Structure formats: structure tokens, C-alpha cells
Structure 1
Amino acid sequence: MKHVLVAAIASAIALVGFSVAPTFANDDDNEDTIGGRSIFAIESALRDNGVVTSGIEEWGGLIRAWVPNANGGTSMLFFDADTLQPVRPWQN
């Protein structure tokens, strides 16, 4: 009888844990967007345009991208958030 009670309690705890997890996953999905587009989609579009990034973020209405360079370092490039065209932030 004691084993049945322990198994029932463990099952209940497991069900509650699984039902909470998707809620947290949805919250994280909202943070992985820039201008309503997923970061993955933006990085893919930049890659299709010949720009391979090691990371991107929103930067004052622009997209700031870190792009590996030939020297083994990383350069910072800026892109229009809507068109993904390169821009110079000091000229906007």
C-alpha cells in the first residue's frame, strides 16, 4: 500500500512539472526576436546575402552583427532592421 501511495505522489509531481515547462519555453521564444522576426530567420537571411554572423542583437532600431574577419577576430557591422541592408549608424 505504501508503494502505491509513493508512486501516485511521484506521478502527480511529474505531471505538474511537465505541464509548467511549455509555459517557460513560450516566454523564451518571445525574447529571440528582433522587429517581429526570429533571430534564426535574420541570421539565415544575412547568410543568404553572404554575411556569416557569430551573433546579432537589436541596437537602437538597427541590427548589430558580429562577423568573423580574416584576422581571426570579429568585426561589428550594422544592418537596417527592415531591409537587412548594411548601414553606417553614425550617418543615420
Structure 2
Amino acid sequence: MIKNTVIALVAVAAFAGAAAPAFAESIFGDNPSEATRDFTSNSIISQLQQRGIDASSVEDWNGLVRAYVTLEDGTQAMQFYTPGSLQRVTL
């Protein structure tokens, strides 16, 4: 059942990711409900984890996705990604 939920989240996130450039000011859109914000965050975390990135939470940061990631040595770091494609951005 969890596998089906993850698949559904990824599918929705893929469609939502295509629309991300349309609202570059926020990864969540304009005035999102708490449920929408949680769903979007969980979708992005799932996508990052499927890429081998151990993300524990994400948030909007000036039009980028700021992810809190646990590194191989056990430390936690912030990493930044573009909305939609989730390509890593170095600042």
C-alpha cells in the first residue's frame, strides 16, 4: 500500500513539476492550503529520495527548493534545487 501511495505521489508531482515554472515565486503556488503545502512537500521529498538524496524536509526559498539533507557522514546540510526539474543549484 505504501508503494502505491509513493507511486501516486510521484505521478502527481511529475504533473505538478511541469507547472512549477508558471509560479516561480513559490514552489507551492499562490495562497496554498496547509494540505496542499504538505502534499507538495511530500512529493518533492519523495522525488529527491528516489534520486538517492536523503532529504528529510523541503521548503520554498526565494523561488528555489531548499532541502534539508542527511549526508553520508551523518551530518545534515541544506541543498538547493530548481522547482520542477529538481536540478541542484550551488549558491
Q: TM-score, normalised by structure 2?
A: 0.57
Preserved CA contact (<8 Å) 2:54 2:71: no
1:87 lines up with 2:89 in the alignment = yes
**Any gaps of 5 or more consecutive residues in structure 1?**
1-26
* Higher CA-based Rg: 1
Identity of matched residues, %: 32
Higher RCO structure (Cα 8 Å, ≥6 apart) = 2
Coordinate RMSD, CA, aligned: 2.0
Given candidates 17, 30, 38, the residue that maps to 2:36 is 30
Where in structure 1 do 4 or more consecutive aligned residues deviate above 6 Å?
none
What runs of 5+ residues in structure 2 fail to find an aligned partner? Answer: 1-32
Alignment TM-score, normalising by the size of structure 1: 0.56
Q: Count residues in correspondence.
A: 60
Question: What is the match of residue 43 of structure 1?
Answer: 45
Query: How far apart are the structure 1 equivalents of 2:36 and 2:80?
Result: 22
